[in-house]
């Protein structure tokens, strides 16, 4: 592994390079090479991530109730959010992964990449301290925390739309991402909503989920006008 490039991406230089290597060692590779894998680091990283996000919400979002903070944390400490972080740093290029797993493009699987982010979090903590790992987590997840905090009180428009449409029987509802604009760290997604294969509305958002929600909200508004 060329650690210099990766450390530059992470904005952190490891004192123990072996920790960084272990964080990227998938169990399939470890079984082939008879070496340690990153599963224990994932376990520790998951706990650290949950604590840091909880503390950040407690310190910075006094307006949220305990239940709302729990919902926000769940939307941040999840596979989708961590997968986005892994894609940002091109973690798939650095993973040590077994031959059969690589043949199936396992180094691009969201679950594998999300796990590697947790392992990196633990590796940074073990190599330094909580201050450093907190900096890494907040730098890379603060936008997701911000979006989730804004939307935590909103109705789930996708569910509401589905309930309205299916009152009269089965209906086909599809959301297609038709456009992505802006740099990786600040993208805007545009999603179109198809009802029974007919384009009904579109929505925009800083992530696909938010864009889909806005498309559903627009479709509900159209239905109410009829």
Give catalytic residues, as residue numbers: 46, 118
Q: Where are the alpha helices (DSSP H) in the chain?
A: 3-10, 17-23, 27-33, 39-60, 66-76, 79-88, 99-103, 110-127, 130-151, 157-165, 208-225
Confirm if 121 and 86 have CB atoms less than 8 A apart: no
Confirm if 106 and 26 have CB atoms less than 8 A apart: yes
The CA distance from 129 to 126, in Å, is 7
What angle separates helix 110-127 from helix 39-60, to the nearest 10 degrees? 80
User: What distance lies between CA 75 and its chain's CA centroid?
Assistant: 8
The CA distance from 117 to 24, in Å, is 9
SS3 201: strand
Q: Which residue has the tokens 């990786």?
A: 184
Residues found in the chain: 226
Tokens at 180, concatenated: 């992505």
């Amino acid at each position: 592994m060329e650690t210099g490039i990766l450390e530059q991406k992470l904005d952190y230089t490891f004192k123990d390079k072996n920790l960084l290597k272990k964080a990227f060692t998938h169990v399939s590779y470890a079984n082939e090479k008879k070496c340690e894998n990153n599963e224990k680091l994932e376990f520790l990283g998951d706990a650290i991530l949950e604590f840091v996000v909880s503390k950040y919400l407690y310190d910075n979002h006094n307006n949220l109730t305990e239940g709302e903070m729990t919902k926000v944390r769940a939307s941040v400490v999840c596979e989708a959010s961590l997968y986005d972080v892994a894609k940002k740093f091109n973690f798939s290029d650095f993973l040590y992964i077994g031959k059969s797993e690589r043949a199936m493009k396992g180094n691009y699987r969201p679950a594998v990449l999300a796990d590697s982010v947790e392992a990196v979090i633990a590796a940074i903590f073990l190599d330094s301290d909580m201050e450093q790992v907190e900096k890494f987590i907040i730098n890379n997840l603060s936008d997701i925390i911000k979006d989730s905090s804004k939307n935590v009180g909103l109705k789930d428009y996708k569910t509401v739309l589905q309930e309205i449409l299916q009152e009269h029987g089965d209906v086909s509802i599809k959301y297609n991402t038709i456009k992505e604009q802006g740099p990786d760290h600040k993208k805007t997604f545009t999603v179109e909503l198809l009802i029974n294969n007919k384009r009904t509305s579109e929505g925009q958002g800083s992530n696909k989920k938010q864009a889909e929600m806005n498309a559903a909200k627009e479709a509900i508004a159209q239905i109410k006008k009829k």
